[in-house]
Structures are given as structure tokens and as C-alpha cells.
Amino acid sequence: MATPAAPAGGARNGAGPEWGGFEENIQGGGSAVIDMENMDDTSGSSFEDMGELHQRLREEEVDADAAAAEEEDGEFLGMKGFKGQLSRQVADQMWQAGKRQASRAFSLYANIDILRPYFDVEPAQVRSRLLESMIPIKMVNFPQKIAGELYGPLMLVFTLVAILLHGMKTSDTIIREGTLMGTAIGTCFGYWLGVSSFIYFLAYLCNAQITMLQMLALLGYGLFGHCIVLFITYNIHLHALFYLFWLLVGGLSTLRMVAVLVSRTVGPTQRLLLCGTLATLHMLFLLYLHFAYHKVVEGILDTLEGPNIPPMQRVPRDIPAVFPAARLPTAALNATAKAVAVTLQSH
Amino acid sequence: MAEAVESPGDPGTATPRPLFAGLSDISISQDIPVEGEITIPMRSRIREFDSSTLNESVQNTIMRDLKAVGKKFMHVLYPRKSNTLLRDWDLWGPLILCVTLALMLQRGSVDSEKDGGPQFAEVFVIVWFGAVTITLNSKLLGGNISFFQSLCVLGYCILPLTVAMLVCRLVLLAEPGPINFMVRLFVVIVMFAWSIVASTAFLADSQPPNRKALAVYPVFLFYFVISWMILTFTPQ
């Protein structure tokens, strides 16, 4: 048994005797030892573990060689050699200690085990949580349980990004897919993280009992409704249908989030503030996602006639060529900024 | 000194002995240690590589690496359950594929004020950060695959999509129109399915059995985004 080199959340602060013991173990045994505690996230044959063990053995050999060399030096040079040898040994030990501390700190902070408990889910659980996110609860006198996991919300955000990208169907015209993709990713992650933080801050002000992780999970699962609505309405372009879904599906998921928050807040003013803000932001985001990427398309199709455009495909055109007044000076154009400019222009 | 221990199941010596009755006479002597250290054999092959490959000619090195990459390409094109990709992972193949894909996707933007630069960077960043995210996700779900092994597999499984990109470029040389689009759509969908099947064949074994779906879904999204980039590419 040896002290693991990568502490898995243990309170090892690198005390001196502990390191001494560690060294003795390696040098006394002369063989590589696997600490079974450390096996949970990488297999024994993984390259990094091999590399780490290899390096440890190499260090140990270098130490042994250096020690042998120093002994010879010491005998040869007598008293002066002894002092030199001592200082060299001290410097060497300090270097080894520093290196070990640095590698330990690195493996502690780069240890993704911190996030592991939040990904401990089964597919059945994810499915049931997805369905529950559309069902508003009635019992608000009693704090409702929120599952604190990050897998579902993260996957929903990525799915929303993919759906947004899918909404930009193509034809023969030029599409700035790079910028659109950056925008889509930025929008979705920005909404999830930003609005979660903002509502968490408001919850702190309103004395609501909710943690940041729970807020992230709640809002993440609330995006399931958005995914459904956008997926359907990007394929069937009917405004009336969109409004219906917006109210129905968007409303259901908002009601669910609102009910959970209400059950965890005390006082009518606080409840109103918190839930009103969340409901507004959530519904407006769905509206924004639909119109930022759809209205642009409609506006252009009305003014352009494109013989190359097949009837079933809609296209976000290259905006500056069409609306010169909306041309923004910077090269890094944001597609949504263009969309806003176009909407402002056309009204 | 060995002591004979009678097991409770011993039927006794009077009756005819059943097949493995003699095993009950085996006992553990006191001086054989039953605890110790688990050792793993060190792969000293690594050190041999360092010293012996330094002196060979550059052509040898390059040819050896290219052959390894080519072998892995074959494994991706005909996916069987094997761990060639996992055992000797390397990132040359993914780099070649990613750069090829990014270069081919780049030439689509002929806007005069954009020189197409950002598109190369976008594709590159999306491929590598997508692969890193999927790897982290599969590790967090409890998979026992190493970080670089997973990157290697995901990178190599972009090969069918690169082939789809080449085919799309060729098809785009023909007349534009709905048939053109349909052909490209069909090719991209087939290659997308191929990528997913190939990567699942390599990655599925490393996940706990009841969570395979959770690990495969992000891979699906990742290849979907790349397929979307390929499908919406139009040179002008």
C-alpha cells in the first residue's frame, strides 16, 4: 500500500513525514505499487497512469544514482566534499518536494472527480426527469425536491444548440456558418449560465431555499420545452402554430419551474419577484430564439426572389449585401445583431 | 509445516471418492504469504523506443507513423470490435482529418470582407472541444477509457464524414438543384450513421452497461453538428 499520488478529495496537505514514508516505500520495495483506491476513474493500462509510474520509477532511479554519485564524491573530497554533498542533498530534496507538491496540486485541481457526483444518473432517471419538467406540480406549501444533476441540463443545452443550427437550412446561397455556430453556442450557454446565476442572486435576495446547482438543473430541464417547440416550429413554418406551442409547451415548463420556486420561497412579494422574473425571461427567450432566427428568413424571402432557392427551404441570406444600411463595421458580425437590425429596420 | 484440514464436505474415505474430493486435502501452510503487493509489469518498451528510434532515418519514422495511421483508418472503415484504436492510440490521424475537413470547409466563404480565416478556426475548435467534452462526459459517467484514447477514437471516426465532404464537393460541381441537395443529404446521412456506428463499436465497451445510451447521445450530437457543417457547405 502506498500513498496515492493523486489525492481523491482527501485532506492530504503534504506533511513532511508522509512524503518521507512515501519515498521509503518506493525505494524499499523496488517495485511499482498500485493503490486500489485510485483505480476508479482510469484503467490500469491507461497511458497517463503508466506515464506517472514510469516517471516515478525514473525519479527513483535518478535519486539512487545521484545518491551513489554523491557518496563517492564525499569519500573522495573529505570534509569539504561532505559539506558540498549535504547542501546538494538538501537542494535536491527541496526540488523533489517542490515538484511533488506541484504535481499533487495539479492533479487535485485538474481532478474531474469533483464533478463526478453530478453525473451519476441512469437513463431511466433522465427520461423521467425530462417528462416531469413539463408537469407543473400543485403542492406549493412544501419544498419540492430538485434533482441536482448536470448531465441532463448539459445535454439539453447542447441539443438546443444543435436544433438552432438545424434551423438554418441551406440552399445554394452563402451562409456564415461559423459565426452562426458561435452565436448559437454562446446564446444557449449564456442563457443557461447567466439566467441561472441571476435567478440564484435574486433567490438569495428573496431568501429562497435553492442552491446554485439546483437552479442550474431546474433551468436546464426547463429548456426541454424550448427544444420541443423549436424543433417542431423550425420544420413547420406557421406563426399560429408557433404561438400555440409557445403558450402551451413553454407555459407548462415555465409553470413547473415557477411552482418549484414558489414552494421554496416564503412571502408573497418575494414569490412574485422571483417567479415573475423567471417566467418573463424564460418565455421571452423562446420568443427570441424563434424570431431571431426565423423572422430574418421571412423578411428576406419577401423582398428577394431567388430562383436558386428551392421552395421548401428557407435561407438566412448574407445580410450586408441586402440591407446596406444595416452593415456593421466590424468583421466579426453577430448574426443575431444583424437580425435585430433587420427587425428594427423593417418596422 | 503443512496441516491437513478436513473440509466439512468431505464424504469420508470409506465411500468411493467423488471427482474433486482430493482438493479438500489442500490447505494453506503458515509460511506461504497470502498478502503482498500487486505489481504491474512495466512497459519498458517505451524506453526502448526513446533510444532506438532516435537514430533511424526520417523516412522510416514517417513511413511507420503513416502506416499506423493507415491501419487505423482501415479499422474505422470496417468497424469491428477490436481495440487497435485504443491500444496504440495516436493523434496524427485525427489531426490530419480535422485539418483536411477545416480546409475544405473553409473555401466556402468567398465574402470579400471575410477571408475565410475564422471558419478554419471554428471547425478546428468545434472538433477538438467537442471531442474533449464528450471524453469528459464519458469519464464522468463512469467509463474507464483514458482521455487520449477517447480523443483518438472520436477523431478517427470523423473519417467517414471527411469522405462525405469529398463526395459533396464533387457533387457540387454538377448542376445545383433539389436533386443535388438530395444526393448530398443522402450521402451525409449515410456517413453520419457510419461514424456513429464506428465510434460506438470502439467506445461502447468502456462504459458501464446500463449507461451506454447516456454516453452515445453526445457523440450523436457531435457528429450531427459536423454533418450539418458539411451539408450546408456551398462554394460559390
Query: CA of B175, closest CA in chain A: separation in Å?
Result: 11
Q: Quick one: pLDDT at residue A319?
A: 47
State chain B's mean pLDDT as an integer. 78
Sign of CA dihedral B121, B123, B126, B129: negative
Q: Quick one: pLDDT at residue A168?
A: 64
A220: Cβ–Cβ under 8 A, 6 or more apart, which residues?
A: A150, A152, A153, A154, A156, A157, A192
Q: Quick one: pLDDT at residue B80?
A: 73
**Any domain includes A327:** no
**Any domain includes A320:** no
Query: A 210-229 residues with CB below 8 A of B?
Result: none
What are the angstrom distances between the C-alpha of A161 and each of A73, A189, A261, B39?
A: 66, 9, 26, 47
The CB density around residue A209, as the number of other CB atoms within 10 Å, is 12
Alpha-carbon gap, residue A343 to B171, rounded angstroms: 36
**pLDDT, greater one: B187 or B76:** B187
Among B40, B140, B232, the residue with its CB nearest the CB of A175 is: B232
Among B142, B176, B218, the residue with its CB nearest the CB of A308 is: B176
Q: Quick one: pLDDT at residue A76?
A: 55
**Listed residue (A165, A190, A176) closest to A332, CA to CA:** A176
CB A227 within 8 A of CB A157: no
Alpha-carbon gap, residue A48 to B147, rounded angstroms: 9
Alpha-carbon gap, residue B62 to B34, rounded angstroms: 49
| Residue % of chain B over a pLDDT of 90 | 22
Asked if A96 reaches chain B (Cβ–Cβ under 8 Å), the answer is: no
CB A270 within 8 A of CB A206: yes
Q: Above 90 in pLDDT, residue B105?
A: no
> What are the grid coordinates assigned to B141, written together?
459517467
Q: Quick one: pLDDT at residue B219?
A: 93
Place of cell 474533449: B132
Local confidence band at B20 (pLDDT 50, 70, 90 cut-offs): confident
B54: Cβ–Cβ under 8 A, 6 or more apart, which residues?
A: none
**pLDDT, greater one: A295 or B137:** B137
Q: Quick one: pLDDT at residue A69?
A: 59
ipTM of the complex: 0.71
CB A174 within 8 A of CB B234: yes
Query: Could you read off the pLDDT of A155-197 as tens digits, one per residue?
Result: 999 999 988 887 765 333 234 554 667 778 888 999 999 999 9
**Any domain includes A10:** no
Q: Quick one: pLDDT at residue A243?
A: 93
How many domains, chain A? 1
> What's this model's pTM, rounded to 2 decimal places?
0.64
**Any domain includes A33:** no
Query: Could you read off the pLDDT of B38-63 as tens digits, one per residue?
Result: 666 655 455 445 556 778 888 888 89
**Any domain includes A317:** no
A74: Cβ–Cβ under 8 A, 6 or more apart, which residues?
A: A81, A82, A85
Q: Quick one: pLDDT at residue B7?
A: 45
**Any domain includes A252:** yes
**Any domain includes A130:** yes
Nearest CA in chain B to A31: B39
Q: Quick one: pLDDT at residue A328?
A: 44
B111 contact residues in A (CB cutoff 8 A): 174, 176, 318
> What are the grid coordinates assigned to A63, written together?
535519486
What are the angstrom distances between the C-alpha of A345 and each of A24, A292, A326, A330, B180?
A: 76, 14, 8, 19, 35
Query: A 110-129 residues with CB below 8 A of B?
Result: 112, 115-116, 118-123, 126
Phi first, then psi, for residue A18 (nearest 5°) are -65, -40
Query: B 7-36 residues with CB below 8 A of A?
Result: none
DSSP A53-89: HHHHHHHHHHHHHHHHHHHHHHHHHHHHHHHHHHHHH
Q: In this structure, which amino acid lies at residue B173?
A: L
**pLDDT, greater one: B20 or A168:** B20
Local confidence band at B37 (pLDDT 50, 70, 90 cut-offs): low
The residue range of the domain holding A241 is: 123-304
Among B39, B178, B233, the residue with its CB nearest the CB of A31 is: B39
Q: Which H helix or E strand runs over A291?
A: helix A268-303
Nearest CA in chain B to A327: B113
Give pLDDT < 70 ranges for chain A: 1-55, 58-81, 108-110, 168-180, 293-347
> What are the grid coordinates assigned to A273, written together?
419577484
Asked if A334 reaches chain B (Cβ–Cβ under 8 Å), the answer is: no
CB A66 within 8 A of CB A92: yes
